Amino acid sequence: SPIVQRVLRDRAPLAFRYAQSGNPRLVEALSRHHGIDSSRIVVGNGSDEIIDLIVRVRAVPGTHNVVAFKPCFSIYELQTRLCGVELRQAPLLPDFSFDWDSLLKLVDDQTAIVFVTTPDNPSGWCPPVAEPEALARALPPSCLLVIDEAYMDFSGEQAAHSLLGRLDDFPNVAILRTFSKSFGLAGLRLGYGILPEKLADFVRRVRLPFSVNILAEEAGIAALEDTVFRAETLRVTAEGRDAAARCADQRRKARSCAG
């Protein structure tokens, strides 16, 4: 965003300072952006840090297990194994959609966390919201469902795919978001979790106090305000996706005719 670039130049003299612990200005901006109480929001050095902290807080090595699909975002596996926690994985279906039944078969009373990425990476599969809703209701009350929505901005009508607006109905659901994709700030490492309030409190207690630096915080606040840049990013991405789909369809038709 040109606005973010200008803010970074203007705020560069502040680089000698530590950011305020917990980044409350950014948390408040996210609270307004999503219409969610700030007590549920924890920002991190990319959503990777939030994933790591959730595993450390929720899962006890040698006791708990974590469940995800295979393949999945590599950080789920790396951080789970780094913490000495068992990782169980259910394979995706041949069309890369989610096999919920196979996933649930891996869950037991010692499952601390289930990770699901939607839209998925790299397939782009994005199930209707009724599917993660059913999964959340089917999990044991002690199990946390972490829905990684890094790409949710590109899904179109988010209410049709995301539980974000209904978290009060799902006390066992946490949602991850990032500034790396539609906001274009991957290099500044900025992400956040929208968590059950008690979990958010514990994560804030163990989070390193300055993991989000002061310029990343300023950039995140500016990015939330630059609605024009983000809307244009989403428009151009959607047009490119549709064009790629049309090309693929034309190639399939051409091969069919040649056959």
What span, in angstroms and rounded, lies between the C-alpha atoms of 165 and 34? 8
What span, in angstroms and rounded, lies between the C-alpha atoms of 174 and 171? 8
pTM over 0.85: yes
Helix pair angle (214-225, 2-11), 10° resolution: 150
Give the pLDDT of residue 20: 92
What span, in angstroms and rounded, lies between the C-alpha atoms of 28 and 259? 59
Regions of the chain short of the pLDDT cut 50: none
Q: Is beta strand 191-194 parallel, antiparallel or unpaired with respect to 144-148?
A: unpaired
- Amino acid identity, position 95: D
How would DSSP label each residue in 223-246?
HHH-HHHHHHHHHHHHHHHHHHHH
In angstroms, the first-to-last Cα distance of the chain is 47
Whether 137 contacts 166, CB under 8 Å: no
Give the pLDDT of residue 259: 66
Cα four-point dihedral sign 255, 256, 258, 259: positive
Whether 177 contacts 149, CB under 8 Å: yes
